[in-house]
Amino acid sequence: MKLTFATVLTLFRILLVPVLIAIVYLPAHRWTNFAAAAVFVLGALTDWADGWIARRFNQYSAFGAFLDPVADKLAVTVALLLIVELHPTQVMTLLAIVIIGREIAISALREWMAEVGQGRKVKVQWLGKMKTIAQMVAITALLYRDPVYGLPTFLIGQVLLGVAAALTLASGYGYLRAAWPALRGR
């Protein structure tokens, strides 16, 4: 196993998950919302940084390539579950189910496509990148919750999570369409 700096950042991102959980379950103080959002943003920044470092300094490793999407899914899933627990509405729950369900389905699809030698056909698409941006900003706003300069941060987070869920479905459809010939046995 090759342990590169990029992989260390990915491992750090995984270690941030229990920190996020602990902060959310701390008794409410003025700083807990900010701390939860800051930890999530730090994780999102390390997600960007580990990929950039791996490409820029040729630090690709099979372990890092495996671990990076696991860290991504873990952080997003835990954050969404925490948000649903904090705000248990039907809409919030539905949006979380759509996003988490798609992540599981597309991860399984990518794994299967790689197994049958068709992994290059289900690469990350620009729509998936837009989904990730909307999702990260939405989760940050929903964890922060408090208005910023009079802006309704929580409402903005809810709207962006809806946008992220719509982009999730659209990009999931794109991945399925790209994989369809292999799924049909062609």
pLDDT digits (tens, 9 = 90+) for 150-168: 999 999 999 999 999 999 9
Please tell me whether the overall predicted TM-score, pTM, comes out greater than 0.75 for this model.
Answer: yes
Query: What share of the chain in percent tops pLDDT 90?
Result: 73
Tell me the pLDDT band of 38, cut-offs 50, 70 and 90.
very high
DSSP track, the chain: ----HHHHHHHHHHHHHHHHHHHHHSPP-TTHHHHHHHHHHHHHHHHHHHHHHHHHTT---HHHHHHHHHHHHHHHHHHHHHHHHHS--HHHHHHHHHHHHHHHHHHHHHHHHHHTT-GGGG---HHHHHHHHHHHHHHHHHHH-S-BTTB-HHHHHHHHHHHHHHHHHHHHHHHHHHHHHHHTT-
User: How many percent of the chain have pLDDT more than 70?
Assistant: 96
